[in-house]
Amino acid sequence: MTPLRVVFFGTPQFAVPTLERLAGSSHTVVGVVTQPDRPSGRGHQTAPTPVKAAALARGIPVFQPATLKDPAIEPALRDLAPDLGVVAAYGRIIPLRLITLPRLGMINVHASLLPRYRGAAPVHRAVINGDAETGVTIMRVVQALDAGAMFATVTRAIGPEDTSDVVERDLSQLGADLLVQVADQLAAGSATEVEQDATASTYAERLTKEEGRVDWSLPADALRNRVRGLYPWPHAYTFLDGARLILLHARTGPQTDAAPGAVIQADADGILVAAGAGTSLRIDRLQPEGKRAMDARAFLAGRPITAGTALGA
């Protein structure tokens, strides 16, 4: 097997394990393309992307074009003479002229079991939908969104308490290992590809802050999955007397005939709220607007809630 020269496209923390595994393999990462640095955190200080920080720590050249339409990026990458392009959550559509630039094309680390959940938020949508498992697919990059042929997959069960950040963290590690295996196969000429069944595809839309607002008419199971799937952003949230409450952990409660959104009981065991279809949701942990996260007992010590109070208004 002749080691490959790899150009890497990625931006967030999810992509870092793949970059580091590649850099530690027999292959050579000859350049990294990542999005421009942006302000982040409470102080809005400009910080390097996680991928940029990892690349610089290893002495790998970094390119941060404001757009991939920048005419300078193609010749810069061509000068690196890459055999393969690897994409892991870069965050933008890659134009055809760059997809076809490496000798072996480009492959992508996608955090779902394709063809299910093409698109921007596959991990969150899997948790929100209550899926029992998810995984990573290594696929060929084509112009159509996440529609390329598949090289390999790996699965991970989604536990009843798993939040999207935990699932994504694990998938980033599983995907990194699988990507290097596929790169080795491509280098050896032994890789095989299987076309996706486009009729079975679904689309994982990008998350918005607005969809975090709890619709109490939904059954408790669906609400609990939303609390897990929308963590750590944008969070599931509701309102109490006009103030926002972020729901950090919740569990299903007993059947009830109370109106959805009505508080049934509020005590040291949590805030029990009526949901749709005669179900209820018990809020264990929450974060009031402008304050720290706390358990229900601590919250109620400073803000008692009486039965019948309506949430969501």
| Digit-coded pLDDT (tens) for 223-246 | 999 999 999 999 999 999 999 999
Q: Looking at the domain 211-302, which fold is it?
A: Methionyl-tRNA Fmet Formyltransferase; Chain A, domain 2 (3.10.25)
Identify the pLDDT of residue 195: 98
Of 111, 109, 187, 102, which Cα lies nearest the Cα of 151? Answer: 109
Rounded mean pLDDT of 103-113? 98
Identify the pLDDT of residue 44: 72
Lowest mean pLDDT among 44-53, 143-152, 161-170: 44-53
Residue 123 has pLDDT above 90, yes or no: yes
Residue 297 has pLDDT above 80, yes or no: yes
d(CA 136, CA 124): 14
User: pTM for the whole thing?
Assistant: 0.95
Q: Encoding tokens for residue 85?
A: 């392009």
SS3 90: coil
Identify the pLDDT of residue 3: 97
Residues of the chain with CATH 3.40.50.170: 5-204
Residue 178 has pLDDT above 80, yes or no: yes
Identify the pLDDT of residue 267: 95
Give start and end residues of each alpha helix (H) in the chain: 16-23, 50-57, 73-78, 96-99, 122-128, 164-188, 220-229, 296-302
Residues of the chain with CATH 3.10.25.10: 211-302
Q: Looking at the domain 5-204, which fold is it?
A: Rossmann fold (3.40.50)
The model's confidence at residue 1, banded by pLDDT at 50, 70 and 90, is confident
Q: Encoding tokens for residue 26?
A: 């027999």
Which class for 105: exposed (0-12), middle (13-18), buried (19 or more C-beta within 10 A)?
A: middle
CA distances from 215 to 4, 169, 229, 239, 276 (A): 51, 28, 15, 11, 9
Instruction: Provide the percentage of residues in the chain whose pLDDT is more than 90.
Output: 96
d(CA 144, CA 155): 24
**Parallel, antiparallel, or unpaired: how do β-strands 150-157 and 133-140 relate?**
antiparallel
